[in-house]
Amino acid sequence: MGATQRENMDPAPYEVEFMNVVVDKANDLQVTDADSHFAQFADVHPSKIKQGKLFLYDKLKPADRERVMQNICKKGARFTYMTMDLLDKKGAPLFVHCVGQNYEDSTLCRMTFADVSESRRRQEQLRAQAVEMNELIDLVCGGVCLFKVTPEMHIECLYLNKGCCRLFGTSQESSRLRAYRLDELLHPVFDKAALKQAKVLTRGLPASPGAACGQIVFFADDAAEWHAAGKRVVMVRIETSPEDLAGMAVAEGILTARGGMTSHAAVVARGMGKCCVSGAGALNIDYKARTVEVDGVVLKEGDFISLNGSTGEVYKGKVETKAAELSGDFAELMQLADKYTKLQVRTNADTPHDAQVARNFGAVGIGLCRTEHMFFEGEKIKAMREMILAENAEGRRKALSKILPYQQADFKGIFKAMEGCPVTVRLLDPPLHEFVPHDLKGQQEMADTMGVSLQYIQQRVEALCEHNPMLGHRGCRLGNTYPEITQMQTRAILGAALELKKEGVETHPEIMVPLTGILYEFKQQEEVIRAEAAKLFAEAGDSIEFKVGTMIEIPRAALTADRIASSAEFFSFGTNDLTQMTFGYSRDDIASFLPIYLEKKILKVDPFQVLDQNGVGQLVRMATEKGRAIRPDLKCGICGEHGGEPSSVKFCHKVGLNYVSCSPFRVPIARLAAAQAAIEE
């Protein structure tokens, strides 16, 4: 059998229930009490494998070592228990290393040293190194470890782990537990037996991890109704909008035909901890017929469908799920991470519930609170639409007075959940057309509510439509055009903080102006905010400290960060939009060409998933350096989805940012990545 053919073989999954590994003075790895089939994982020439002996690692050529290790660690290799002896030059054991671990089931590995002899001359010399190494391995590794002691008194480890293994020592860079694997611990997963029988219908982008199974629904109202009736549902949409939030909140998962990793569906789903597959372009969705067709297979509303948000796979029918299991090792790992980390981890949260979830995962504040998501509940949306569709400023203020108490109550709940921690609130950002009704029924309802004609409402809705809305009338441009919106939101934010101050709750509000590209855009908004704050404080006879800063998400803002920092007290990099505007790639439409770009190696990774350090990253670095040259105490962080991606987090650490902010369920990933970044310095 040729080497190429062997490498393409998938080794049969095999579980080693018990094995002893001895590292002797010759550095041979001896395997005893293990089935000989374990050697299949090595996939090396038979001459290099004997019964009971895995291989002589040090005798292999460097190219063979890499391949051997990869083959050992992939495709189902699993160790449930292992003991390991360190031998000195005379063959006497120094330590026993015990590992209780089951990597496939995502149980975190815990490693401890235990003495096996009373006293050895070299034992105490090694202990200091061993304890520190042990602690680091607890933090950064997730597989089986083989130790040896070098003549130079270094403790070296050969780590066996699916997709991640190599030889390293105390003086070398350590192999790390891949932080993203923590996602598997925090979200539902498919039952393995059920998954084996499942039929893949199509694939999309793995927009939010976890597993979901439920009946297909196409509209938010139906999702809410079916959920209330005790049914599990999966929302299937061409693409989602803020109007779909109520349905998304009750759905087991979300599936869209369009959209990338930072589309509305992806971002909201990650914030909710919901499974989501986006950009599944093979889907042909017919809202009128309430069907979805994929390669000739037609599914109707009510049919079951299953989603794997970690891989992007969509399955026909039911694939049963089970809740993820968290072990005590998880909390231990997080405590150890906090011991080393320098970069703070905040969360992106828009509700008290999301804030509390994130805080339970260790978030130390909110880096992004999106105010627009608050407008889609009950009577709020009616008042919001009334404000948008009003003829003049007087009409807008009348509608805004209805919104104010809702907003203030929302902020009060969020501040309370994050008591004592900073909360960055982004002022209204999306284009207004996202909030208005586009169906005849909704338009008629608004006409009746406002006492105007249906024709007037339709004309106003049409007037709000833009050819390129993400570059249009949104962000600070809204606040500068309609300052009454900024006034209302400022009063709601600071009013909530004042109420909590009376109740003895400590708050640290930070008001963030979105989409600044020009210093004067920011200054105009800052003036409105501070003037309204002064007016509110005079009325209340009390005050509270707050900061005003901006979101850096336009390349020009990064290039002129020194000027903007002359007024802004903090920067928050909105890397979703910054990536969009730097590359010129639409966040929502990239799925149409991304697979081809990845296949042809034009792109190595999706830039909306992994921060482009050579381009977008340099804008982040430049803006941070320029801003702090003017304002040395300038607080800088990122709040785009890159804030929960491990390599991006490590880049933020190197650049010297104060914090990263990410979806609640990605907080543990960011905390681990931040600790690893500190260790790697």
Per-residue b or e along 62-98, where b marks 16 or more CB atoms closer than 10 Å to that residue's CB: eebbebbbbbbbbeebbbbebebbbbeeeeeebbebe
From the list 97, 227, 264, 373, the catalytic residue is: 264
Residue 528's identity, in one-letter code, is V
pLDDT in tens, 192-239: 888 888 889 999 988 888 899 999 999 999 999 999 899 999 999 999
**Collapsing DSSP states into helix, strand and coil, what is residue 476?**
helix
For residues 312 and 663, what is the distance between their CA atoms, to the nearest angstrom? Answer: 19
- pLDDT for residue 158 is more than 70: no
For residues 305 and 312, what is the distance between their CA atoms, to the nearest angstrom? Answer: 13
Which residues pair with residue 345 across a beta bridge? 660
* Residue 589 CB contacts under 8 Å (≥ 6 apart), including other chains: 258, 260
C-alpha distance from residue 519 to each of 503, 516, 524 (Å): 37, 7, 9
pLDDT in tens, 532-573: 999 999 999 999 999 999 999 999 999 999 999 999 999 999
The reported pLDDT for the residue numbered 479 is: 96
**Collapsing DSSP states into helix, strand and coil, what is residue 26?**
coil
For residues 181 and 106, what is the distance between their CA atoms, to the nearest angstrom? Answer: 8
- pLDDT for residue 331 is more than 60: yes
For the chain, what is the total number of helices (H) and then of strands (E)? 24, 32
For residues 144 and 137, what is the distance between their CA atoms, to the nearest angstrom? Answer: 10
**Which of 28-42, 283-297, 592-606 is predicted least confidently?**
28-42
Q: Quickly list H helices, 374-482.
A: 380-389, 393-417, 440-450, 454-464, 476-481
* Residue 150 CB contacts under 8 Å (≥ 6 apart), including other chains: 156, 169
Q: Which residue has the higher pLDDT, 502 or 669?
A: 502
For this structure, is 97 an active site residue? Answer: no
* Contact of 637 with 660, CB cutoff 8 Å: yes
pLDDT in tens, 362-375: 999 999 999 887 77
State the average pLDDT over residues 585-590: 87
pLDDT in tens, 401-435: 999 999 999 999 999 999 999 999 999 999 888 88
Q: Which residue has the higher pLDDT, 290 or 2?
A: 290
For this structure, is 264 an active site residue? Answer: yes
The reported pLDDT for the residue numbered 631 is: 98
Is the CA virtual torsion 657, 544, 408, 470 positive or negative? negative
Which residues pair with residue 503 across a beta bridge? none
* Contact of 54 with 44, CB cutoff 8 Å: no
- pLDDT for residue 21 is more than 60: no
The reported pLDDT for the residue numbered 641 is: 85
Per-residue b or e along 516-546, where b marks 16 or more CB atoms closer than 10 Å to that residue's CB: bbebebbbbbbebbeebbeebeeeeeeebeb
Mean pLDDT value across the chain: 77
The reported pLDDT for the residue numbered 322 is: 80
Give the side-chain half-sphere CA count within 13 A for 513. 34
Is the CA virtual torsion 657, 662, 667, 669 positive or negative? negative
The reported pLDDT for the residue numbered 218 is: 97
**Collapsing DSSP states into helix, strand and coil, what is residue 604?**
coil
* Contact of 525 with 486, CB cutoff 8 Å: yes
The reported pLDDT for the residue numbered 185 is: 67
**Collapsing DSSP states into helix, strand and coil, what is residue 523?**
helix
Please give the full DSSP string across 155-199, using - where no structure is assigned. Answer: EEEEEE-TT---EE-TTSPPP---GGGGHHHHS-EE-HHHHHT-E
From the list 275, 276, 636, 639, the catalytic residue is: 639
Backbone angles phi, psi at 74, to 5 degrees: -95, 170
Q: Where would I find the beta strands (DSSP E) of 289-442?
A: 291-294, 297-300, 304-308, 313-316, 321-322, 344-348, 366-370, 422-426
Please give the full DSSP string across 494-514, using - where no structure is assigned. Answer: HHHHHHHHHTT---EEEEEE-
- Burial bucket for residue 297 (CB in 10 Å: 0-12, 13-18, 19+): exposed
